[in-house]
Amino acid sequence: MSETENNVRTRRRAFDREAGIETAQALFHQRGYDAVGISELTKALNINPPSLYAAYGSKAGLFSRCLARYVDEGNLPADKILIAGRSLAEAIEELFITAARLYVKSPLQRGCLVAEGMRADDEQARELANQYARPGILFIEDYIRQSEPERAKELSDFVVTTLRGFSAAAVTGLSRPRLLKVARMNGQAFAALLSLNPDT
């Protein structure tokens, strides 16, 4: 065998950045940003630290790519639920129920990757997660404003805080039946809030 042929046979396969993002996303989702170190990431991706930095810039850069992938592929589909012409109470209740189901869909990757990233100890990770969360929060507020222009902010705060609570409950092990029951109760609570006179 010639030296050239030997080099071809022994040449390391090119690193697949997208596959690396998928692997890292699963780790971050399962264990949280703070608990996943560089050594664990490089072992899971089968690369060395310089290669990780060359591919993604930093651990935070890799997390940002994971958040982008999650938002594109696995996030709560609010745009398909909060649509024009629906009863506001009905739409928000479906949003809650869909979130509850999504956040416990995987036995290992529970909760919302973005919401949990917003609770990270690492300041850069928190800021990245907040950046990815912001468009969804504004979308919910704008949708509510179409029906409740005077109360859009407070009602959207209720919805967003409730969704983040669902995520935290899922991560800490609340069962699917119990979380779905809580989702329905919160849907009823939101409907009751709509019936209240804000001036009383």
pLDDT in tens, 148-191: 999 999 999 999 999 999 999 999 999 999 999 999 999 999 99
* Rounded Cα distance, 66 and 184, in Å: 30
Instruction: Please answer whether residues 179 and 104 qualify as being in contact, where contact means their C-beta atoms are separated by less than 8 angstroms.
Output: yes
Res 8: pLDDT: 44
* Largest distance between two CA atoms of the chain: 88
Range(s) within the chain of domains with CATH label 1.10.10.60: 3-71
Q: Which residues of the chain are in CATH 1.10.357 domains? A: 75-195
* pTM assigned to the model: 0.88
Topology of domain 3-71, CATH: Arc Repressor Mutant, subunit A (1.10.10)
44 contacts 24 by C-beta, under 8 angstroms? yes
Tens digit of each residue's pLDDT (9 = 90 or more) over 5-15: 454 444 456 67
Please give the sequence-ordered ranges of beta strands (E in DSSP) within 51-188, or none if there are none: none
Contact, 64 vs 33, CB < 8 A?
no
pLDDT value at residue 196: 81
Q: Tell me what pLDDT residue 15 has.
A: 77
Of 140, 131, 129, nearest to 94 by C-alpha is 140
CATH node for 75-195: 1.10.357
Q: Which amino acid is at 94?
A: E
Tens digits of pLDDT across the chain (200 residues): 555 445 444 445 667 899 999 999 999 999 999 999 999 999 999 999 999 999 999 999 999 999 999 999 888 999 999 999 999 999 999 999 999 999 999 999 999 999 999 999 999 999 999 999 999 999 999 999 999 999 999 999 999 999 999 999 999 999 999 999 999 999 999 999 999 865 54
